[in-house]
Chains A and B, each alone.
Chain A
Amino acid sequence: MHATAGAAGRIEATFAKRTAFVPFLSSGYPGPRDTPRLLMQLAQAGADVIELGLPFSDPLADGPAIQTASARALDQGVTAASALDQLAEVAPELPPIVIFTYLNPVLRMGPEKFVEKAAEAGAAGLLLTDLPVGADPGLAARLGGGGLDLIPLAAPTTSDARLKTIADSARGFLYYIARTGVTGSRTDVDAELSSRVTQLRGMLNLPVAVGFGIATPDQARTLASVADGVVVGTALIEALGTSEAAFRELAEALAEAVRANEKQH
């Protein structure tokens, strides 16, 4: 593993401690000023790492729930820059934050400037759904060179050879997409997924967090026994669409489920 000091190393340190509960939150949803408060709630509920989505007009990798949340934030005037400013207000009190977004807002701000601003705001990692490993190594170097871990994704369609390439260049953790498709629709947490995750952990020298379509504490519990981290997004955004209480309750139940069944380190 890489011996990265400072903010970026925080993610690996977190995964080294225990199985991570990694909730996702969409910036500027439901209200434009709700995000700092909701981030604090996730921290209090037991989040180990938080993925913070910055809104993009054309979220290709997202299903209807996160699309709607993203569109609502943009309608309310939230921007990539304003979302990072809001993060800065509470970041010192939060677990490591991974910014989850799309390439274009980052390019528009300028890759170096974006990384600098995100790191200043307290982020530890950056995950770009439309920058697969190898797509633009020069750009990836510019994004990964400034204090943020560039978190790679792998999918069920990714070959073992490619997985090794991905993991070799990665820091932080590998985000394994539990099934082909966009965020949202439910995933079956079955024996096949579990054995694939176990296999990946044996193969790669990097923590493996699993997400996409993980919705219930039961699923989180099952995955926690095989993965290094469990990511839950859409289910939390949908709960938030109902009420803040429902959001908080689900976050607590998920954290507890991950704790109850965490794998041995």
Chain B
Amino acid sequence: MTGRMGWFGTYGGQFVPETLIPALDELTRAWADARHDSEFRKTLDDCLHRYVGRPTPLYQARRLGKDMGGVRIWLKREDLNHTGAHKINNTVGQVLLARRMGKTRIIAETGAGQHGVAAATACALFGFECDVYMGEEDMRRQALNVERMRMLGARVLPVSSGSRTLKDATSEAIRDWTASVGGTHYVIGSAVGPAPYPDMVRGLQRVIGNETRTQLRELGVEPAAVFACVGGGSNAIGMFAPFIDDQPLPENPSVPADSSGPGQVRGVSDNRAELVGVEAAGAGLASGQHAASLSLGLPGVLHGSHSYLLQDEDGQVTPAHSVSAGLDYPGVGPEHSWLKESGRVRYESVTDHEAVAAFGDLCRLEGIIPALESAHAAAGLRKEAEKWKNRDVVICLSGRGDKDVEEVRRFERTRGADVQSPDQAS
């Protein structure tokens, strides 16, 4: 299986109903064509600059760094993108591609609602009809984003099957696409799904890492480590991609030689940075209530690709759990499975409590209300802060946390008291 398009080692592939194969072939061709087209790149870069607000700042979080015992922390401020998260990098790219392909309708799945809002936004901007599938549990947890999507002109379609979260919303979006495949483009929200999605989303999110490296070089900073949270893995792969590609793996087959794109920085000695992906440990890895697919899952097939997956011994997918709706997914993008196996990226996890504590730290010490997802990345660094004392560490602050204010308050009310995390107590 190694060496073929759409595969990352033995991970990836196109495990979807036959009906979708021609659509995936069409998308593969369209993306291969568009990514090299200077006109397309220019339109996209322009949109990212003038509409989304890129480049986003790389900001030194001094008070947080001091609080962690003297780590020089650099926050990549994806929360300052229009709509408040990295998700829009992907949606404007995919909707522009859909326009180029002559599609008229967009569908999307969403967990935290950030991808749904970003998809609805790109659809409003480019004049597309937009349907967003969202689990009923997530609609409850992320009510603010449901309203935002509706205001932006999207239809939010509640999903009541299974765990009523991101996994089920994704299944329902794929079912819709199977029926509507001719005129509809499915804008998947993370680096998951069948080929070409993982590679395409990586390519569209790569701007995060490209900018970060440029900014670090301008500052003369050599990062010792880079932390990002991993749900499906799109902000993490977007941040890691240029660091990985500058030090190619012996036989990573699928990274096209030219995937660097504009903004690629050559000759910076930042390719020794340790890359750390942080998964959601939910109520604790031992509790069974978590979303740590890479840490505790086994390879399997869900939503079109072969990758690490939370599953039982019968091969049934087990529900994930996280206080953060955007990480509440039992699978993970196939490239992360490959990066785990090859050892290029280290994957760790933090609990709901640790993430909520880090959420509070960023609020009080930096005046930044982070997304709960992003708070996992900060909490991941906190857990090993000792190791990074006096060194430069980048955290991908993937989104802002307005959407989570209610959920954090609810968490502190209902579960905050039972286990105080050590950081919270200090």
Binding site for B on A (CB under 8 A): 55-61, 63-64, 67, 71, 74, 79-81, 102-109, 129-133, 135-136, 138, 152-159, 162, 177, 180-182, 185
Contact = CB atoms under 8 A, between A and B. Distances in A.
Interface string B137-176: 0000000000000000000000001100001100100110
B16 A130 contact: yes
12 contacts: A58-B167, A71-B161, A104-B309, A108-B300, A108-B313, A130-B15, A130-B301, A132-B15, A138-B1, A152-B18, A156-B19, A157-B21
A107 B301 contact: yes
Interface stretch (B210-218, B269-277, B314-322, B366-374): B314-322
Given A58-B167, A153-B18, A158-B21, A182 B315 contact: no
Contacts of B20: 157
Nearest to B23: A157
Contacts of B15: 103, 130-132, 135-136
A250 B23 CA distance: 36
A136 B19 CA distance: 17
A153 B309 CA distance: 26
A105 to B, nearest CB: 4
Contacts of B168: 58
B349 interface: no
A154 B318 CA distance: 30
B19 A157 contact: yes
Q: Which 8 A/B pairs are nearest by Cβ-Cβ distance?
A: A108-B315, A181-B179, A105-B315, A155-B19, A79-B314, A57-B316, A153-B18, A104-B315
Contact of A105 (B162, B181, B303, B314): B314
Given A57-B317, A60-B175, A155-B18, A180 B181 contact: yes
Contact of B13 (A71, A135, A153): A135
A57 B178 contact: no
A105 B314 CA distance: 6
B311 interface: yes
B81 interface: no
A180 B179 contact: yes
Interface in B25-66: none
A81 B314 contact: yes
Contact of A107 (B23, B300, B316): B300
A60 B171 contact: yes
Contacts of A56: 315-316
Contacts of B167: 58
Given A58-B162, A58-B171, A108-B313, A132 B18 contact: yes
A180 B315 CA distance: 27
Given A104-B301, A129-B17, 19 more contacts: A56-B315, A56-B316, A57-B318, A58-B167, A60-B16, A63-B175, A81-B314, A103-B15, A104-B317, A106-B315, A107-B300, A130-B301, A132-B15, A133-B18, A158-B22, A162-B21, A162-B22, A182-B17, A182-B179
B261 interface: no
A52 B162 CA distance: 22
B302 interface: yes
B314 A181 contact: no
A165 to B, nearest CB: 11
A173 to B, nearest CB: 15
A213 to B, nearest CB: 11
B315 A60 contact: no
Given A58-B171, A67-B161, A159-B22, A132 B17 contact: yes
Contacts of A156: 19
Contacts of A102: 301
A57 B167 CA distance: 11
Contacts of A136: 1, 13, 15
B201 to A, nearest CB: 19
Given A57-B162, A60-B16, A157-B22, A130 B304 contact: yes
A60 B168 CA distance: 10
Contacts of B324: none
B14 interface: yes
Contact of B174 (A60, A74, A79): A60
Interface string B277-321: 000000000000000000000111111100001010111111000
B18 A177 contact: yes
Contacts of A57: 162, 316-318
Nearest to A106: B315
A129 B19 CA distance: 10
A48 to B, nearest CB: 23
A181 B178 contact: yes
A177 B19 contact: yes
